Amino acid sequence: MWRWLVGDRASRVVAAITAAGVERHPSQFTITDDAAAWWHPPGQWRLGLAETLRLAPRVAPIARLGSLKLIRMSALVERQHPSGAHAYLGYLGAAVQGKGLGSAVLGPALEVCDAFGWPAFLESSNPRNLPFYRRHGFVDREPLRVPDGCPTITPMWRDSRP
């Protein structure tokens, strides 16, 4: 989806958003040398206007004309976010797939979710990632309504485990 939004600048846009997130919310990240996951605790997933305005000077120069598309898409996805208390995986990235790096940053947060009885939620725009999330207990939900040409975005839910 990032490539659809901002083209070949996708990795730089994600890096800028991640860097800003780490600076403002370091406790929400699980980071290793080769992977990172950004978790939002229940009730703290919404980006909001103030956070968007803080991100704009860092992201807009990279995203350029894709900035407006990025803001619109963010609002569209946010409107379809489920209600109720849950942890939200806003981002997971690994340098290499298939080496256990994603599990290394996903697992600890899921243990916290289970300990507190929190369900977990995420959206995936990459169909290759769905089996990975399913192995961790996530279940597909109805795809989000997105603009023509946008990759399918699959929301996924995981109930907490005792």
Q: What is the 3-state secondary structure (H, E, C) of 44-69?
A: CCCCHHHHHHHHHHHHHHHHCCHHHH
pLDDT score, position 64: 86
**How many independent structural domains does the chain possess?**
1
CATH of the domain at 120: 3.40.630.30
pTM, two decimals, is 0.87
**Tokens standing for 10?**
């996708």
pLDDT score, position 6: 87
What domain range includes position 127?
A: 2-158
The DSSP secondary-structure symbol of 98 reads: T
Instruction: Please give the Cα distance from 59 to 82 (Å, whole number).
Output: 26
Contact of 156 with 135, CB cutoff 8 Å: no
Q: Which amino acid is at 152?
A: T
Low pLDDT (below 70) residues in the chain: none
Instruction: Please give the Cα distance from 111 to 21 (Å, whole number).
Output: 22
Instruction: Please give the Cα distance from 21 to 25 (Å, whole number).
Output: 6
pLDDT score, position 156: 97
